Amino acid sequence: MNNFKIDMDSSATPQDDKIATPPAVARNDVALNEGNGLDVTRRGFLSLLGASVALATSACRKPVHKILPFVKEPENLKPGISKYYASTYPLAGTSYGVLVETREGRPIKLEGNPDHPLSQGATHHLAQASILDVYDSDRKKYPTIGASRVSWEQWIEVTSTILKNAQNKNKRVCVLHESSASPTLQEVLRKFSNQFKNISVIEFEPTSSENETIAFEECFGLSSIPQPKLDKASVILSLNSDFLGDPRNNVSSIKEWTKTRKIPLQQNSMSRLYSVESFLSLTGTNADHRLALKPSQLLEFALGLATILIEEYQIGDKNLIPIFEKVSRPTYSSAYSEAFLKTLALDLSENIGKSLVLVGPQESKELHIAGLLLNALLKSFSNTLNLKNYTTRSKNGYGKIKNFLEDLKHNKVDVLVTLGGNPAYHFGEAFSIPAQKIQNNIRLSLYEDETSQVTRYDAPLSHFLESWDDSKPTSTSFSIHQPTLRSLYQSRCTGEMLLEWQAHLENITILPTEAWISEIKNNFKHNWNEILQKGYINVDSTPLALSPINVSAVSRMIDEGKYRSFGLRRPQNDKKNKQDDPSSPHGFDEASNHNDAVIELQFEISHATFDGRFANNGWLQELPHPVTKITWDNVANMSSKTAQTLNLKNEDVIELAYGNKILSLPVFIQQGLAEGVITTQIGYGRTHAGHVGSNIGSNVFPLLMASDFSWSLTQNVSINKTGKTYKIATTQKHADLMGRPIAHEAALDDYKNNPDFPKQDDHSESFDLYKKEHTYPGHKWGMSIDLTSCVGCNACVTACNTENNVPVVGKDQVLKGREMHWIRIDRYYRETEQESPAVIHEPMLCQHCEDAPCENVCPVNATTHSEEGLNEMTYNRCIGTRYCSNNCPYKVRRFNFFDYTDDILTPEELGKNPDVTIRMRGVMEKCTFCVQRIQEARIDAKSHGHERISDGGVKSACQQVCPADAIVFGDLNDPSSQVAKLSKSPHGFHILQHLNTKPSITYLAKIRNPHPNLKEFESL
């Protein structure tokens, strides 16, 4: 709680806050070092009183802000001109390169660094939304001891003394830190820990992929994991792996995967994706074939597949055969599951060396071993798994934490240092109760969060946009973080703090920022300037020397593995199983059907808050989940059959109990889940996230704790219906296409035979009363959106929010259908012959129609057509009749029902794009095709003596961010432009063509690549 005391003459009151050393590269003239300013003296109070009276009496007009020129003009700083700095976006030990757009020293937008192999110019939604994080008014603003504010000097003095005492008296020091891909930080942390004899340094991420590392170590004896080369794989099997949705690697994954699915075909082939999963992930919605299983059935499936490959297709080492004799042949509960497994085995066996099996990072060690075995059988290593490019992650899972929490409980920790992270939220009372008792509890944190409540010495941590750092997420890529903003609050980054503590311990004086930079510089001796410019350098790495898979590890897994408990056994009666029992659920193995009543719980990483760290970010909270379209909540997803069995309806509140932990969640009926499976998202139920993120959803971590961070609970989950209901705010209430020709799709073979199929679906003839077509002598802006490439990742939605200052409206407004997103991704389910629906993601934004229905109905001419084919909104002229929105067949116009921007808290306004007007209440708004970017490009072209903007000279925000390169924007008048060519694609179509609105956006129909043996199940 923020129960700061107004301390009149306490020595703890800082006299001067500005001694905190500014970072070396301070490009900012904005310093908000004042904090909450609650320590007001009597004199100060009186002068404030006088000032406010003076202001109140003369407040009849807006205060005049004068724009003053610089006394000393910083070099290269031109007001109104963006400057870009190469930096890195870090997330839970992974990272990729970004370019930070700054205006007058303030970062306002992130773009992917085109040179960085993990970004290739794109970013995901989290990076886009980080602009809101850095300017979050709820960030921790000053160091505190207990409840009182102190100066940095005091804070460092006190904490250094504590550490010194610990050093001298050999006290037990525990350093708990979050994962980072920074080698320099690792080095500094190592040096720091060397100062102590009795120290344990524990790295922790709740979303740790430790099991993957352990499995790899057991199978290959190495702790470095080769990275997938998705663009080299023809057949991909994903076992609960959401490689298209997981923000730790989805940017590069989407980039690479969609390269193999471009139409027209590259090398006359298209990759095929099979997805076997217990949730409905973004990857599952993009799979050509998908099988929904219970979490407990995944290992059976993987082993069953391996058995078929080894026994039927004689793939792999001979010595595997006896091991797999112990594994039963799979049995099938439906015709589809049988066909799926057999076809998958066939397809993989035909594509040896061109296949790839991906296992979800949070899955069990056993499933990872099975996945590695499959990859070994399919010769994926060195073919589709890059042995030169690998990651080396330390074990940051729950294993070490368990011991640490034990120690904490038994008062064996004397000094606790938490650097980032939020253990009180992740571990709950197991951490917070004993941590509260520790006197010497030191912490650096971005927010006053749950852990701050139990911390005595708490100091603000710098946001990554404010700090120096470096990052080596994989063996071949090395990038740098550079600050693009002077710390808004007096904050420091972890490296600076560690160095400063160390200097205190060694009784020397340093300038922490300079020292930290020089540590980083050590890594880039020759190419410091290059790295500052490019942000990224390619480093050579020695390829992993991979031995054949350790058969005994596989054997051990099969012998002792958990799979026995799933009831895998030899089929008793093969004939019986061949009968297709329609009433039997869509399970995979008959054997596990005997306990259908058993509810299995599957956890997912939150699309919005990740593990809860982004809970206070309104853009992310309001970002619809890419599959469920739910905002502002986590829910219990279950299939309609499960709900029926449990007698539950949508929005019923249930209590899920595991051990003595109870989780209360609203039910959300979701297609494509196996019967008996409930999935939910972590990262909600924060109690001290800030004014946006507190008390949203339910906290899943108690259950994860109770299960030792096992991401699926296959037993002992009980359900209790509470009788209460709870409103879930979704942005799309109807998922069915209603047979309307608005999202065309075809199988690859059908497309080859009949490439212009979408045009045949639309029978309408174009008839125009106006004989003469309107001509556009200059540019005519248009866009093409490739539905085959679009995976629905939401990056464009957040990029648009950032670029166009789209307001956050809150859950109550989303419930009323008043979300403001200018671009949305419509997600449609199509019924298929199996239970998993076929999914189409269709980005929907203003179509900039040539004959726009919105334009002629506006009584005041507030929305008009530009000479370049843009449908423009004039906010100043708009009176808000909403007639244009009613008459828009695409319903892409957004009305400001309230003043959605009046509650922007300082300093959030610093992150707004100064080129885009903030809209007041009562006006309509919508996609502008990033007209501000077009204007910028026009000025740029003119100043370079060009008459026209060249193709690619202007990119819309959604296009620039798109990892799938699904969106192409440009000049339709230029026949050589990419968009003009794509718009003429045979499978291009306009949505609602028959209305003759003549949209400027051409959609390219979705092409799927089903296996011929399974096509009947997809009903294409």
Q: Which of 184, 384, 896, 959 binds other proteins (CB under 8 A)?
A: 896
Q: How many CA atoms lie within 13 A of 708 on its CB side?
A: 8
Contact 192, 596 (CB under 8 A): no
For residue 263 the two structure tokens come to 């139409």
Q: Which of 886, 905, 942, 946 binds other proteins (CB under 8 A)?
A: 886
742 touches other proteins by CB under 8 A: yes
Q: Which of residues 378-417 bind other proteins (CB under 8 A)?
A: none
Closest CA relative to residue 208, chosen from 401, 495, 357, 419: 401
Q: Count residues near other proteins (CB under 8 A).
A: 57
Q: Which of 437, 570, 877, 984 binds other proteins (CB under 8 A)?
A: 877
Q: Which of 66, 410, 734, 771 binds other proteins (CB under 8 A)?
A: 734
735 touches other proteins by CB under 8 A: yes
For residue 1011 the two structure tokens come to 């296996």
- What's the CA gap between 195 and 76, in Å, rounded? 44
- Shortest gap between Cβ of 830 and other proteins (angstroms)? 12
997 touches other proteins by CB under 8 A: yes
Q: Which of 223, 897, 917, 918 binds other proteins (CB under 8 A)?
A: 897
Which listed range, 123-131, 451-459, 673-681, 889-897, lies at the site for other proteins (CB under 8 A)?
889-897
- What's the CA gap between 799 and 843, in Å, rounded? 13
- Shortest gap between Cβ of 895 and other proteins (angstroms)? 7
Site string for other proteins, 226-245 (x = CB under 8 A): --------------------
SS3 string of 221-289? CCCEEEEECHHHCCEEEEECCCCCCCCCCHHHHHHHHHHCCCCCCECCECCEEEEEECCCCHHHHHCCE
Which listed range, 370-378, 466-474, 851-859, 909-917, lies at the site for other proteins (CB under 8 A)?
851-859
Q: 241 vs 1000, which CB is nearer to other proteins?
A: 1000
853 touches other proteins by CB under 8 A: yes
Closest CA relative to residue 908, chosen from 278, 3, 133, 159: 133
Q: 451 vs 901, which CB is nearer to other proteins?
A: 901
Helix H or strand E segment including 957: helix 957-961
What is the β-pairing status of strands 415-419 and 94-103? Answer: unpaired
- What's the CA gap between 14 and 157, in Å, rounded? 14
649 touches other proteins by CB under 8 A: no
- Shortest gap between Cβ of 891 and other proteins (angstroms)? 4
Start-to-end Cα distance in the chain = 57
Q: Which of 641, 882, 948, 981 binds other proteins (CB under 8 A)?
A: 882
Contact 753, 949 (CB under 8 A): no
Q: Which of 183, 353, 889, 914 binds other proteins (CB under 8 A)?
A: 889
Q: 524 vs 898, which CB is nearer to other proteins?
A: 898
For residue 111 the two structure tokens come to 């773009």
Q: Which of 42, 733, 771, 944 binds other proteins (CB under 8 A)?
A: 733
Q: Which of 22, 35, 755, 880 binds other proteins (CB under 8 A)?
A: 880
Which listed range, 353-361, 437-445, 505-513, 992-1000, lies at the site for other proteins (CB under 8 A)?
992-1000
Check residue 588 and give left, alpha or beta (phi > 0: left; psi -120 to 50: alpha).
Answer: alpha
Which listed range, 268-276, 418-426, 561-569, 896-904, lies at the site for other proteins (CB under 8 A)?
896-904
894 touches other proteins by CB under 8 A: yes
- Shortest gap between Cβ of 923 and other proteins (angstroms)? 6
Q: Which of 324, 489, 895, 929 binds other proteins (CB under 8 A)?
A: 895
Q: Which of 126, 844, 846, 972 binds other proteins (CB under 8 A)?
A: 844
922 touches other proteins by CB under 8 A: yes
Query: Which residues fall within 8 angstroms of residue 841, CB to CB, at 6 or more apart?
Result: 285, 286, 626, 787, 790, 791, 792, 825, 826, 827
Q: 938 φ, ψ to 5°?
A: -65, -45
622 touches other proteins by CB under 8 A: no
* 488-527 burial: b if 16+ Cβ within 10 Å, else e: bbbbbbbbbbbbbbbbbbeeeebebbebbbebbeebbeee
Which listed range, 390-398, 583-591, 717-725, 731-739, lies at the site for other proteins (CB under 8 A)?
731-739
885 touches other proteins by CB under 8 A: yes
Q: Which of 376, 454, 992, 1007 binds other proteins (CB under 8 A)?
A: 992
Site string for other proteins, 823-842 (x = CB under 8 A): -x-xxx-------------x
Residue 474, beta-bridge partner list: 477
Q: Which of residues 857-876 bind other proteins (CB under 8 A)?
A: 857-861
For residue 615 the two structure tokens come to 């809970």
For residue 964 the two structure tokens come to 């799938």
Q: Which of residues 512-531 bind other proteins (CB under 8 A)?
A: none
- Shortest gap between Cβ of 444 and other proteins (angstroms)? 41
Q: 942 vs 994, which CB is nearer to other proteins?
A: 994
- Shortest gap between Cβ of 892 and other proteins (angstroms)? 8
Q: Which of residues 805-824 bind other proteins (CB under 8 A)?
A: 813, 816-819, 824
Q: 151 vs 863, which CB is nearer to other proteins?
A: 863
904 touches other proteins by CB under 8 A: no
Query: Which residues fall within 8 angstroms of residue 671, CB to CB, at 6 or more apart?
Result: 280, 639, 640, 735, 829, 835, 836, 837
- Shortest gap between Cβ of 563 and other proteins (angstroms)? 41
- What's the CA gap between 341 and 643, in Å, rounded? 27
- Shortest gap between Cβ of 922 and other proteins (angstroms)? 3
**Helix-helix angle 365-377:210-220, to 10 degrees:** 50
DSSP 421-473: S-HHHHHTHHHHHHHHH-SEEEEEESBS-TGGGG-SEEEEBPPGGG--EEEEE
Residue ranges of alpha helices (H) inside 506-613 are 512-521, 528-534, 551-560, 574-578
- Shortest gap between Cβ of 883 and other proteins (angstroms)? 6
> 359: buried, middle or exposed (CB in 10 Å: 19+, 13-18, 0-12)?
buried
Query: Which residues fall within 8 angstroms of residue 138, CB to CB, at 6 or more apart?
Result: 447, 448, 616, 689, 690, 691, 692
- What's the CA gap between 898 and 368, in Å, rounded? 51
- Shortest gap between Cβ of 63 and other proteins (angstroms)? 22
- Shortest gap between Cβ of 270 and other proteins (angstroms)? 27
738 touches other proteins by CB under 8 A: yes
Q: Which of 345, 465, 878, 957 binds other proteins (CB under 8 A)?
A: 878
Q: How many CA atoms lie within 13 A of 609 on its CB side?
A: 29
- Shortest gap between Cβ of 812 and other proteins (angstroms)? 10
- Shortest gap between Cβ of 714 and other proteins (angstroms)? 35
Q: How many CA atoms lie within 13 A of 283 on its CB side?
A: 32
- Shortest gap between Cβ of 896 and other proteins (angstroms)? 7
Q: Which of residues 149-188 bind other proteins (CB under 8 A)?
A: none
- What's the CA gap between 587 and 835, in Å, rounded? 10
The tokens 């919508």 sit on which residue?
Answer: 926
- Shortest gap between Cβ of 733 and other proteins (angstroms)? 6
Q: 399 vs 853, which CB is nearer to other proteins?
A: 853
- What's the CA gap between 761 and 746, in Å, rounded? 12
Residues that bind other proteins (CB under 8 A): 732-740, 742, 813, 816-819, 824, 826-828, 842, 844, 853, 856-861, 877-883, 885-887, 889-891, 893-899, 920-924, 991-992, 995, 997
